[in-house]
Structure 1
């Protein structure tokens, strides 16, 4: 919610602070991603050594307070500083969380668990849009930032007090942990070990491309609906985001469950192939959202794309954690997130904004529509890498 709240507020912020699309893209993209991605590496090293749930709690408190601080911004520079603070805080979330989940669930149940964890992305985007849109439409965008940000501080206390820190390697009894006193692998060793795993490399490329497309489309979706389809902030919050969240939950949880069944019946390789097929099915509906002028039909096409497209999160991260050495799980997660977020989150929203401004002289008010179409059309590239990862995993298992 703290990351996606900006999407529904962009048009209000743009009018209030007199920003360009490029500046809006920087706020939700590159400026956020640089700190979020790069700081994930040192946080992961801490998570591979120390108590992971405490790192998550501290990070949650920080990014929640910085989200609320964004509501006090009087200009682009101040809002930029607040969003950088959110990125710094969020850097401490995913690497230790992935590591904890990998210790709690065996390989043939891990995709389902990661799918449930990925609901943070799905429900965060939906609830951030819904709550933020409703509050902003009645009380302004600044109060929406306060409402979304401050409850996270309370949740941080709950995480600190009640979340359990599992023993490392708990769910991988066949992979014995290193003996006490064994030196921790260094950062270079982490990059080298991931680079030596061809399936992992293809998975990282696939999820990076998918994230770049997804972050770009998600960051600008509400603005597109307001500018081109003529849907109000309140109606997006009530009638688009909530059903979209339901379809996203079905996709994330269902995708994880299907992936677990495929792993038990056919092998882990089938999970990557499943994602490739689902992404292929989602593609025409994704494009339809931007090419259909009738609002209700366009929104229906959007919901159908979400139903299939969000299934990738659980299987992808579960496969990467399954390939990672035990003492490098948080580090592999951080390396993956470094690439995903520098390229995906950093480039996605930013490039959509730049492309929209560049296309404005030719397409006018429709410039954002065509910028988003260009991004959606990159999807087959990601599909190829999911397919290739599945092929390599199948060969390795033979």
Structure 2
């Protein structure tokens, strides 16, 4: 199963700046990716303080969890592939880290819903720079036979960062809540949730200059080598992106749509599970953060590594639609089990059963993207992956948290019944996921049968 097109594309002797390369570079980008997920997810631990101090509704908070971040992340991410191919990826990354750090800091200074909304937009815009630049630099410095491992290690930042946001966020908010308001120089009195945003924003900004240590090769030399290869006939542009999508719309549009619908369920769980546990079980936010955060990290890591290995094993043995069929099985098993978890009324039963969903349905990026890469020409793989990420992000963040809040506010009405709202979201979207991925599975089998 191919993830990379080739090994390093820059010839030896090409001028370079910076000394941090290979695995040390991966660890730095992993650290930045962890912070990016902490900064984007920490708001899920602050629902009740935000409602109390600013008078916000669940729906307003859901807009900050989902669309305010997700839409700007997706739209800006589509432009990053173009930028990182032409300008310094180090400086693009530094600018992005500084922007999302400043936006997180600004969220801590905000005292109204519009101010927080703008801050979340800035976080989405800044974080959109990180992954395209990181993938470009990793692909430049790792050979094909090690590239998948390198990118997989970098991608663990999403799992670790998301879990740490819950663990650390819950602990920080819980401890800060007991201290009351805090006086900061130049800022004045701030609430505990504001202090969390301010500290995280400053820490993120301080990390940005470390990117200058990353080795980056001269892009002009790489572009000239590509131009000469095209002129000599060693490579060709081939089919266009529009032609590829028109030829196989069920794969290149249907697959992102199917996984985007799954991301609606996952986004709803991720956004509202901490609040559900506080309201349903009476746990304080620190206890919820520790218990659910640790469970989240373990389950997601097991699912990410184990799921990808199982899909590869099935595909090598002739299951040509393994990438989607595995996920169909995962939804059929994981979603009903999580509905039982939400109905259980016991926090420990909930944590155990909820882990099943996160093993089977959460870490789908590896095998979902691979299904596209197998059928994508070499010169279009970056663009296809960027479009896939944009679609699943917009669908998941744009629908998941807000739809749950709308159900909770207007159908269930009682805040203590947030679990019922999550059950309704699961029951509505799981069948849609199964239907769409079943159609994509049929398409994958037909393409393999036709030798495509």
- TM (norm. structure 1) is 0.85
Please name the residue that 1:123 is paired with: 160
CA distance in 2, matches of 1:180, 1:151: 48
Are residues 250 and 46 of structure 1, via their aligned partners in 2, closer, same or farther at CA, if it must alter by over 3 Å? same
Please name the residue that 2:346 is paired with: 294
Task: State the Cα distance separating 1:70 from its structure 2 match.
Answer: 1.2
Aligned partner of 2:411 among 355, 359, 362 = 359
Task: State the Cα distance separating 1:208 from its structure 2 match.
Answer: 0.8
Taking the TM superposition and a 5 Å limit, the aligned residue runs for 1:228-307 are 228-266=280-318, 269-307=321-359
CA distance in 1, matches of 2:299, 2:348: 16
CA distance in 1, matches of 2:433, 2:261: 6
Task: State the Cα distance separating 1:219 from its structure 2 match.
Answer: 0.7
Task: State the Cα distance separating 1:49 from its structure 2 match.
Answer: 4.1
Are residues 194 and 65 of structure 1, via their aligned partners in 2, closer, same or farther at CA, if it must alter by over 3 Å? farther
1:370 aligns with 2:420: yes
CA distance in 1, matches of 2:199, 2:172: 8
Task: State the Cα distance separating 1:107 from its structure 2 match.
Answer: 9.3
Contact 1:71/1:142, CA 8 A, preserved across alignment: yes
Q: Please, which moves more after superposition, 302-311 or 194-203? A: 194-203
Please name the residue that 2:117 is paired with: 80
Please name the residue that 2:101 is paired with: 64
Contact 1:199/1:389, CA 8 A, preserved across alignment: yes
Are residues 105 and 339 of structure 1, via their aligned partners in 2, closer, same or farther at CA, if it must alter by over 3 Å? farther
1:392 aligns with 2:443: yes
Structure number, greater radius of gyration: 2
Contact 1:211/1:344, CA 8 A, preserved across alignment: yes
Task: State the Cα distance separating 1:192 from its structure 2 match.
Answer: 5.0
Are residues 226 and 205 of structure 1, via their aligned partners in 2, closer, same or farther at CA, if it must alter by over 3 Å? same
Counterpart of 2:281 in 1: which secondary structure? coil
Please name the residue that 2:9 is paired with: none
Alpha-carbon displacement from aligned partner over 1:375-398 (angstroms, at most 9, x marks no partner)? 112123213333433332233223
Give the number of aligned pairs. 385
CA distance in 1, matches of 2:228, 2:247: 21
Please name the residue that 2:368 is paired with: 316
Contact 1:251/1:311, CA 8 A, preserved across alignment: yes
CA distance in 2, matches of 1:194, 1:64: 37
Contact 1:215/1:348, CA 8 A, preserved across alignment: yes
Aligned partner of 1:46 among 53, 77, 83 = 83
CA distance in 2, matches of 1:262, 1:51: 40
Task: State the Cα distance separating 1:129 from its structure 2 match.
Answer: 0.9
Please name the residue that 2:399 is paired with: 347
Task: State the Cα distance separating 1:337 from its structure 2 match.
Answer: 2.5
Q: Which runs of 5+ in 2 are unaligned?
A: 1-37, 177-191
1:162 aligns with 2:214: yes
CA distance in 1, matches of 2:246, 2:134: 22
Alpha-carbon displacement from aligned partner over 1:209-243 (angstroms, at most 9, x marks no partner)? 11121112211111111112222101011222112
Task: State the Cα distance separating 1:134 from its structure 2 match.
Answer: 0.9
CA distance in 1, matches of 2:362, 2:218: 28
CA distance in 2, matches of 1:256, 1:190: 27
Are residues 195 and 11 of structure 1, via their aligned partners in 2, closer, same or farther at CA, if it must alter by over 3 Å? farther
Alpha-carbon displacement from aligned partner over 1:176-206 (angstroms, at most 9, x marks no partner)? 9971699x98xxx545533433322222111
Counterpart of 2:362 in 1: which secondary structure? helix
Contact 2:268/2:401, CA 8 A, preserved across alignment: yes
Are residues 349 and 226 of structure 1, via their aligned partners in 2, closer, same or farther at CA, if it must alter by over 3 Å? same
- TM (norm. structure 2) is 0.76
CA distance in 1, matches of 2:232, 2:409: 56
Please name the residue that 1:173 is paired with: none
Q: Please, which moves more after superposition, 85-94 or 380-389? A: 380-389
What root-mean-square deviation, in Å, do the aligned CA atoms of Structure 1 and Structure 2 show? 3.2
Q: Please, which moves more after superposition, 54-63 or 93-102? A: 93-102
Task: State the Cα distance separating 1:26 from its structure 2 match.
Answer: 0.8
1:216 aligns with 2:268: yes
